[in-house]
Amino acid sequence: MATVSNQISSDLIWEIVRNNNAYVVSRRTGGGVRFSRDPLNLKNMHTRKYAGFVNEKAVGVVPNENGGVKILSKKASASQKPAANFTSTTFHGGKSARRPLPTRLPRTVTAPISVRSPSSASLPSAVLSVPSSLPPEQKLRGNKAKKAAAATEESS
């Protein structure tokens, strides 16, 4: 994988390698769409935004050998040291990964992550949070309003 140098910007690296690198997959069907096989590219789109091998920080999810998943993350501080550039966290297939997920995610993920508990104790609060009233009915306008007014006058 390409390492990002302090002397070379990641934008310049992308401009150099965007047309031919080991991860690009070009298809003639579908308007010549281009995909990526980069393990650090979560959307598999061949764009600068999602290219994990170019960006200083990246997170990827790959299947584990014995079931489960492995979360790879890239450290920006170790971009010049390829051996220390990656950290990985493994979630085994036989264990439930819902409970420990927020505490074991790599530190590069900054967006708030919410994992709801499937317990029945949280169900009533979820049901109560849904508004029970319906939105007000749309007021008739124009010809429809005139026809409705004429219909109510005829019936009375």
What pTM, to 2 d.p., does this model score?
0.54
For every residue of 107-133, DSSP letters joined together read TT--S--------GGGHHHHHHHS--S
Q: What percent of the chain has pLDDT over 70?
A: 71
pLDDT at site 148: 93
Higher pLDDT, 144 or 79: 144
pLDDT tens track for 16-26: 999 989 999 98
Whole-number average pLDDT of the chain: 78
Task: Tell me if 100 sits within 8 A of 113, measured CB to CB.
Answer: no
User: What is the average per-residue pLDDT within 98-127?
Assistant: 54
pLDDT tens track for 72-110: 888 888 877 878 888 888 887 776 655 555 555 555 455
